[in-house]
Structure 1
Amino acid sequence: MEMIEKEAQFQEEKDIISGLPDCILVEILSRIPYTKYAIRTGTLSKRWKHIWTCVYNLNFSCLDPHGNKIENSKFISSIDKTLTQFRCLKLNKFKLLTVYDAQFYSQINNWIHYAIDCKVEQLDIALLPQSNVQFPLHELFFINSCFRDLRVSGCEFNPTAAISWKQLRSLCISKVKLDEDLIENILCGSPLLETLKLDDCYGYRRLNISSKSVKNLVFAGYWVPLCDHFEDDDDDDVIEINAPYILSLKIKSGLSFWKLRLLDVSSLVKAHLSYRFGGRYERAREEAEEEEEMLKKLILKLCHVKELQFGDDCLKALSRLEAKGFIFPSNLNVDVASPLYSIDDILELELKLITRFVRIS
């Protein structure tokens, strides 16, 4: 009897949903995290068969629900099939997470062009290379007036002309080689940019944020490939950040060098220090003087901020400093970094899963 009642309740709820107008159903399906699940609703009834083809968010990941990697050719063909059936002319979001294999360059390039043709506003491309070969972004990628939120990981930035992202508000670049000129090109071409995150990027020595529009800067690690490691000259082993107009600064994740120097950060209101040392310096943690000296200089440079937040590793270094007599500025409002995961943390975890499969293969 109970089973019959539950079945009746399910059918009633199903009928209520099916009775909604198509525009509401499209809205519901567009909020489903992964496109493959939205597609499966097409089996519910004849009416549902094509509704998913009008969603305005597309999300493709090469990981299955259990975190296992889907075989490349199967994953590629599934996206090709999906896009041939897709009918929406305007995309809000397009996300692609996979391992990059050069033999599939044409397909991946076509997908990105498809998203651009659909005037996508949020584009999230994470292509982790199987070797040292990264996916080269097409020149048209760097000239776009629709991008508002852009995330790019594991791709080759090599624009041959001035970048033009006139509507871009948020930019996250991960595991990409950047030099000072390229960073300046990005900033000049993004007049409305408010938030910039560099996640494990490398190739530059000075991060000069000259744009007055950028208010939030996240420096999330400095990743140096083995073939691009710094020379052994410790005097050059330093990264400088000059950002006179930013209001918020986060320095987090792993650093593969000992010296991070803040220049002009006079407008800062809030700072977050939760970095750790790794790479070729990981074995030198017993000799902590350099780490402590860097933290002390950062704190003294940030003594004007209203809120200063520390992660675990920085708190340990601070404790050692205070044990040696360092007097913490009394005007600073100190907080401990929250252990809760943010959306960015979840995205980073997803990328780490893909990286694991790359290393295994």
Structure 2
Amino acid sequence: MSHSDSSNSSQSKSENVETAYVDQCYGDKRRKMDSKPDRLSALSDHLLLHILSSFEMKDVIRTGVLSKRWRLLWTSAHNLSFTHSPESNRDVTEFIKSIDDTLILSKPSKLNKFSVEFFYIDDQFVDHVNRWMTFVTIKSVEVLDLNLMGGFDEGYSLPQLMYSNVCLRKLKLSNCNLVPKEGINWPALRVLSMWYAKLSLEVVDSICSGCTGLESLKFHTCFGVPGFHINSKSVKKLVIGGYWHQEDEDSDDDDDEYKELTIWARNVTSLEINGCFHKKILVLQNVQALVDAKLYYLEFRTNQKMLNKLKRRE
């Protein structure tokens, strides 16, 4: 067999796999509509893909019933979004497999966004998520939203290949921990949001030093640090949305004793504090650059001069 014949054979096999996957998703409905004329066929691929970019991936694939042109167009989508709720009748294992299958068929060399939300339990799917992160790296994804719903005991740890990435612009992590062995290098990152993460002073320092273009930093219900020391020159907006209370945190202390949680952010101009902090008294230090402050938590301390300055700016 010649090289050309071999190439054509491989392409044919790939098309057969794609068609089989589409058939599995919406079956005979596609064939019934193939014979009907449609206005969608007049639209350009660029416009069709722009429309698809706002859909969940399961809905994107189903659009193949609308037009012949849409049948496999979804494989060229630049935004991939997958959601599975605990209330869903769909088995989570089936959901995981559908993501794996979709990523295999994804054609673009570069993606704008990759978003996944599902209930992550006991590292059962860690190998799959690791493969997705490899995919994110290879495809130069710019916006990553990894929402792994679950408990606070362990969470998912990003693999080491993720800590050097020059493409990420926006990153949202839920129930994911950062454990960089050789620091963080995210020069293009502008927005970082972390939910339900175990932090350390070293990790926060790595974020500040390794994200030289970071403008907005958000920690929601995180834990593990005595305070937030933000020494970044670029971060201008800081949001602290609560602090997760660990059951053994106050085991050796008097029940009525309150602990301090310091916030040191010399270059931050916009600060927002909200949520539950349990037995934490927030201590604001070196926040004289603030222009806008929204403090929805009453138990905080700062020096009188700084407090007067904040009041004058309200």
Q: CA RMSD in A?
A: 2.3
For the 8 Å contact 1:230–1:237, the answer to whether it is kept is no
1: CA distance, partners of 2:304 / 2:150: 37
Q: Kindly indicate whether residue 213 of structure 2 is the aligned counterpart of residue 192 of structure 1.
A: yes
Task: Say which of 190, 193, 218 aligns to 1:172.
Answer: 193
2: CA distance, partners of 1:94 / 1:230: 41
Q: Kindly indicate whether residue 46 of structure 2 is the aligned counterpart of residue 23 of structure 1.
A: yes
1: CA distance, partners of 2:187 / 2:195: 21
CA 1:130–1:201: 2 relative to 1, 3 Å: closer
Q: Kindly indicate whether residue 245 of structure 2 is the aligned counterpart of residue 224 of structure 1.
A: yes
Aligned to 1:93: 113
Structure 1, unmatched stretches of 5+, are 1-13, 276-290, 306-328, 334-361
Deviations 1:267-313 (A, max 9, x none): 100011224xxxxxxxxxxxxxxx5xx357589734324xxxxxxxx
Task: Say which of 79, 85, 98 aligns to 1:57.
Answer: 79
Amino acid aligned to 2:97: S
Aligned to 1:138: 159
Aligned to 1:303: 308
Q: Describe how 1:121-160 pairs up with structure 2 within 5 A.
A: 121-129=142-150, 132-160=153-181
Deviations 1:297-330 (A, max 9, x none): 589734324xxxxxxxxxxxxxxxxxxxxxxx5x
Q: Kindly indicate whether residue 60 of structure 2 is the aligned counterpart of residue 38 of structure 1.
A: yes
- Shift of residue 204 of structure 1? 0.7
Q: Describe how 1:306-325 pairs up with structure 2 within 5 A.
A: none
Q: Describe how 1:79-118 pairs up with structure 2 within 5 A.
A: 79-101=99-121, 102-118=123-139
CA 1:73–1:299: 2 relative to 1, 3 Å: farther
2: CA distance, partners of 1:195 / 1:91: 22
2: CA distance, partners of 1:216 / 1:130: 28
TM-score by length of 1: 0.71
For the 8 Å contact 2:195–2:219, the answer to whether it is kept is yes
Amino acid aligned to 1:95: S
Q: Structure 1 stretch 78-87 or stretch 232-241: which is displaced more?
A: 232-241
Identity %: 35
1: CA distance, partners of 2:300 / 2:180: 36
- Shift of residue 128 of structure 1? 2.5
CA 1:114–1:301: 2 relative to 1, 3 Å: same
- Shift of residue 131 of structure 1? 7.2
- Shift of residue 98 of structure 1? 1.0
- Shift of residue 199 of structure 1? 0.7
CA 1:255–1:103: 2 relative to 1, 3 Å: same
Task: Say which of 263, 277, 286 aligns to 1:264.
Answer: 286
For the 8 Å contact 2:283–2:300, the answer to whether it is kept is no
Structure whose residues are more often helix by fraction:
1
For the 8 Å contact 1:241–1:261, the answer to whether it is kept is yes
CA 1:299–1:83: 2 relative to 1, 3 Å: farther
Q: Kindly indicate whether residue 276 of structure 2 is the aligned counterpart of residue 254 of structure 1.
A: yes
2: CA distance, partners of 1:135 / 1:78: 20
1: CA distance, partners of 2:209 / 2:304: 30
2: CA distance, partners of 1:263 / 1:211: 15
For the 8 Å contact 2:151–2:175, the answer to whether it is kept is no
Aligned to 1:242: 264
Aligned to 2:228: 207
Q: Which runs of 4+ in 1 moved over 4 A?
A: 227-231, 233-236, 295-300
Structure 2, unmatched stretches of 5+, are 1-36
For the 8 Å contact 2:78–2:112, the answer to whether it is kept is yes
